[in-house]
Amino acid sequence: MRNQNRDTVGTVQDLYVDASGSIKTVVIAVGGFLGVGSKDVAVKWRDLKRTRDGKSVVLSTDLNKDQLKAMPDYKDERRVPSQAATPK
């Protein structure tokens, strides 16, 4: 995850989609060092910008690292198994 200055401000940990398959929430790890001491925050998909860097997709936000760190800790959403994963 990058900000407008192309500085890395966090790492995408998870994506949550709705029943139609649209991405709704992106969970981002911020702070810490090499994943230790970081915290997860949730950002709405519609609040992120998407660009390409060669073959990669780059997500960016208008928020800086301090603003992301100030957000409340993300609490895990209940995961619902997909129809394909449900035993018959």
List the Cα angle 64/24/53 in 5-degree steps: 55
* pLDDT above 90 for 4: no
Domain residues of the chain, as ranges? Answer: 11-74
- Top CATH class of 11-74 equals mainly beta
CA distance 26 to 80: 17
pTM: 0.77
Contact present, 44 and 59 (Cβ < 8 Å):
no
How does pLDDT run across 29-85, given as a tens digit for each residue? 998 776 678 899 999 999 999 999 899 889 999 999 999 999 999 987 655 555 555
How does pLDDT run across 8-25, given as a tens digit for each residue? 899 999 999 988 999 999
Strands in 39-44's sheet, in edge-to-edge order, are 11-17, 23-30, 39-44
Residue 16's CB: how many other CB atoms inside 10 A?
14
